[in-house]
Amino acid sequence: METNGLEWLVVPMQQLVSWGAAGAMVFGGVVPYIPQYRDIKRTQNAEGFSTYVCLVLLVANILRILFWFGRRFESPLLWQSIIMIITMLLMLKLCTEVRVSNELNLKRRSFAAADSKDEDIKAPPKRSYLDFDLKYFWHWSKFTDYMQCVLTFTGVTGYITYLSLDSFLFVETLGFLAVFTEAMLGIPQLYRNHQNRSTEGMSVKMVVMWTSGDTFKTVYFILNQAPFQFSICGLLQVFVDIAILLQVYFYSYYPQKPASHTAHPASTKAL
């Protein structure tokens, strides 16, 4: 009798916890970027944020959405990708506007062929159609160029996915590439710390947030029996985050002589 009397409370509580976990999955990934967005907006300086964060997360989440069409997974994970794509586009738009406004004599760099009527062009473009030079890729002057690149990538990969949905190997590989790309976000930061023999300039609080978020996400994947690619790459993300935290401890208590090399740009996961 006592157990039946508590059912009216237990069931709603379980539902509430389930909704809370789903909400955390959908919006938790973008939370660290809110203070970063506000800081860039306030200071009008985007030097501390690498737009390669946006590139990697856009690619990873576009691939994850395409994977959903081949193998349906939980809706919160799908919505998480949609929210992350919107967030990265907003970050990219702000960073582009701030960078262009702060740089003098900025030469027009575009994804597609430059328009000869563009008033910003001071010299004829060296390339006839697409600017895929590694020195200029993802360093364009207008947000519309980034949108063209994202839409082109989405269209090409979407068409290939549509033609290959019947292939089990293709679908599983697509899912692995989606989560593996996102899992690799911490590697450049790990390598940068190793090269500099220091974690100076890196936000330790942000790494702690990454670790707690990746841990929660991985547990969510396992408990909700998400595709195995999600769980494996989630564990990889946690291991990379822990390795970065170990670097913080090691370089703090055992300072190393700075390596003499040219300064590297901010890593893709540096905030």
- Asked whether the beta carbons of 65 and 157 are under 8 A apart, the reply is no
What's the CA angle centered on 239, arms 233 and 245, to 5 degrees? 140
55 found inside a domain: yes
In 3-state terms, what secondary structure has residue 195?
helix
Q: How many domains does the chain have?
A: 1
The C-alpha atoms of residue 51 and residue 12 are separated, in whole angstroms, by 42
**pTM, two decimal places:** 0.72
User: C-alpha distances in angstroms, 231 versus 16, 20, 118, 136, 186?
Assistant: 24, 20, 48, 35, 17
- Asked whether the beta carbons of 74 and 224 are under 8 A apart, the reply is yes
What is the pLDDT, as a whole number, of residue 266? 42
Structure tokens that stand for 84 in this block? 């992350």
Name the band, by pLDDT with cuts 50, 70 and 90, for residue 83: very high
> Percentage of the chain surpassing pLDDT 90?
22
Out of 17-21, 26-30, 159-163, the most confident range is 159-163
Q: Flag the least confident range among 153-167, 171-185, 244-258.
A: 244-258
Closest CA to 237 of 194, 193, 182: 182
63 found inside a domain: yes
Closest CA to 193 of 260, 267, 120, 134: 267
Considering only residues 148 and 103, tell me which one the structure prediction assigns the higher pLDDT: 148
Structure tokens that stand for 164 in this block? 């290959």
User: C-alpha distances in angstroms, 66 versus 148, 172, 173, 217?
Assistant: 19, 11, 12, 20
> Using CB atoms within 10 A of its CB, is residue 267 exposed (0-12), middle (13-18) or buried (19+)?
buried
8 found inside a domain: no
Q: Model confidence over 137-150: pLDDT tens digits?
A: 888 888 998 999 99
Q: Model confidence over 175-208: pLDDT tens digits?
A: 889 888 888 877 777 777 777 777 775 667 777 8
What is the pLDDT, as a whole number, of residue 202? 65
User: What value does the mean pLDDT of the chain take?
Assistant: 77
Mean pLDDT across 47-72 = 87
Chain position carrying tokens 């059912």 = 7
Mean pLDDT across 89-105 = 85
70 found inside a domain: yes
Q: How far is CA 191 from the centre of its chain?
A: 18
The C-alpha atoms of residue 55 and residue 36 are separated, in whole angstroms, by 16
- Asked whether the beta carbons of 178 and 231 are under 8 A apart, the reply is no
Structure tokens that stand for 91 in this block? 């970050």
The C-alpha atoms of residue 85 and residue 82 are separated, in whole angstroms, by 5
What is the pLDDT, as a whole number, of residue 9? 65
115 found inside a domain: no
5 found inside a domain: no
122 found inside a domain: no
Domain that holds residue 221: 16-105+137-253
Q: 249 — phi, psi (to 5°)? A: -65, -45
209 found inside a domain: yes
Q: What is the dihedral of CA 188, 189, 194, 198, to 10 degrees?
A: 160
